[in-house]
Amino acid sequence: MNRAISWILNYKGFIIAGLLSAIIISFYIAGELTARNSSGEVQTGPLRFLSLAWQEDAVKVVNEITDQWNQRHPEQQVELIQGSWSAVHDFLITGFETGDIPDIFHYESAIIVDFALRNYLADLSPYISKEMREDVLEVNWASVTRSSGEVIGIPFLNASSIVLYNPDLFAEAGVTPPTIENPWTWDDVHAAAEKLTIDRDGDGVTDQWGTALGLRNCANIFMNLSISFGGSFFYNDDQGNIEVRVGEPEKKLLGTMAKMLFIDKTMAPSGVGKSGTEMIPGFLAGNYAMVVSSGAWARQQLVENAGEGFHWAVMPPIKAISQSMGINSQTLSVPNSCTRQAVAMEFIQFLLSAENSTRLAISDWVLPTRKSSIADPRLQDVASGWNIVSQNAQHLSVGPWVGLPGYVEWKSRVANPTFQEFFSGRMSIEEVAERIERESASVLARYQVRGLKW
């Protein structure tokens, strides 16, 4: 034993080198074997489809449709990769940079614009069938079509916002909810919120708030709402460049929210640090009579989680000077590097056929982009708020920020932090305007220097 150990120690250099070489060689062989197994598949094997469907029902529907495709197309199989919304950006960015990217991927129109500007995405326009082109809302096509006519993704679900309310609390306070024909203005919301904000036990602390709005990372909400106030934050300057201005419409929008939050005190202050999703438990607990600018998907949470006897409903979009709202849709795209773009698009058209689009919308509780799906009787149901959500389609509009180079960075570096400070009571509206205009100029200038054009 001792001899053996001494021998080992005498030749330790060689032994260590040998062991390290063995480890490296074994890793290489393992990799080589994996590559051999998969290299055949890369050329003739399945197309890889990254899906972000995450709700149980939605995952099931996507799986079923993919299975149907695979049964009907044995020579053009599709492998489903289940992605996650929280990590998809890092996944795609590294995928594009390294060239290892799924053949079809699910994401959202506001963000794929940046990928398109870097020429990562295939132009799908030659492959879109006449039926699909005519059936999908024009406003949706506008959000994914470049000035050259290239289509960078197929929009299939719209992230439209809704106003949820509690009919029992309304009835108790003697407030009559609006109808599709007679929507509320923001003045109506103010008046109702005052009646609905109640200190039930008389201890000087509000127990029930008239309105609630998740204000954490709220840039998206305010961009979309600004359209109904006649603003948009982004305007063309004299040289044809885009500049950010916080004018009267934008100030009015911010002032409307600030009035409810700070002056009337009819908006729940807890919303300042919360997302829209995090407002739902409070709504279910009866703490809020209305939740403004909630996603249409929130209805699914209500259906699944509402206790017995809890009632909820959806009201039509609130009118400022119009009921318009900005658009952001979930999309399916194909990377430029995909060698089988035509087949990939065939699969997308199968996945997003009229019937399948309706199934996907119902399973995800969001507004579809196809007119035929929107008109489907299942999407006119009143009890689940589908009738209002479907009506929202006519109010969708493309904001001037769509396709703007640097918009994603602008939202996270300028808009979100500034709005957050404003709603924490640390800035006035004038200071918000000054800061947004100043900081936006430096962020957007960088992108204009790069010469990126939508």
Partner 1 sequence: MESMNIISGRMLKRRVSRVLMHGLILMFLVYLLFPLIWMISTSFKPTPEIYSGIPTLIPEVFTIEHYLTVLEEERLLVSILNSLYVGIVTAIIVVLISLPAAYALTRYRTSVNKLVMGWILTSQIFPAILIMIPLFIILRSLHLTDSLSGLVLVYVVWDIPFVLWMLQGYVKEIPVELEEAAAIDGATQGQIIFKIIMPLLLPAVGAAVLFAFISAWNEFFFALVLLKSPDLTTLPVELARYTGIEGQARTGPLAAASFIATIPSIVLFAILRKWFSSGALQGAVKG
Q: 107 or 229: whose CB is closer to partner 1?
A: 107
Q: 34 or 394: whose CB is closer to partner 1?
A: 34
Residue 432: DSSP 8-state: H
Give which of 255, 197, 262, 174 is closest to 222, Cα–Cα: 255
Q: 30 or 375: whose CB is closer to partner 1?
A: 30
Rounded least distance, CB 263 to partner 1, Å: 27
Rounded least distance, CB 220 to partner 1, Å: 9
Cα–Cα distance between 152 and 329 in angstroms, integer?
Answer: 12
Q: 300 or 341: whose CB is closer to partner 1?
A: 300
What does residue 182 show for φ and ψ, rounded to 5 degrees?
-125, 75
DSSP-based three-state secondary structure for 417: helix
Rounded least distance, CB 297 to partner 1, Å: 7
Q: 31 or 126: whose CB is closer to partner 1?
A: 31
Rounded least distance, CB 138 to partner 1, Å: 24
Strands 396-397 vs 325-326: parallel, antiparallel or unpaired = parallel
Give which of 388, 341, 349 is closest to 367, Cα–Cα: 388
Strands 288-295 vs 161-165: parallel, antiparallel or unpaired = antiparallel
Q: 257 or 296: whose CB is closer to partner 1?
A: 296
442 is written with which tokens? 């430096």
Rg (CA), the chain: 26
Rounded least distance, CB 125 to partner 1, Å: 27
- Please provide the DSSP assignment of 322-358 as one string: ---EE--EEEEE-BTT-S-HHHHHHHHHHHTSHHHHH
DSSP-based three-state secondary structure for 218: coil
Rounded least distance, CB 285 to partner 1, Å: 3
Q: 284 or 443: whose CB is closer to partner 1?
A: 284
Rounded least distance, CB 106 to partner 1, Å: 11
230: exposed, middle or buried (Cβ count in 10 Å: 0-12, 13-18, 19+): middle
Question: Nearest 5 degrees, angle CA 276-CA 106-CA 305?
Answer: 35
Binding site for partner 1 (CB under 8 A): 2, 4-6, 8-9, 16, 23, 27-28, 30-32, 34-35, 38, 48, 52, 54-56, 79-87, 90-91, 94-95, 97-98, 100, 102, 159, 275-278, 280-282, 284-285, 287, 295, 297, 301, 304-307
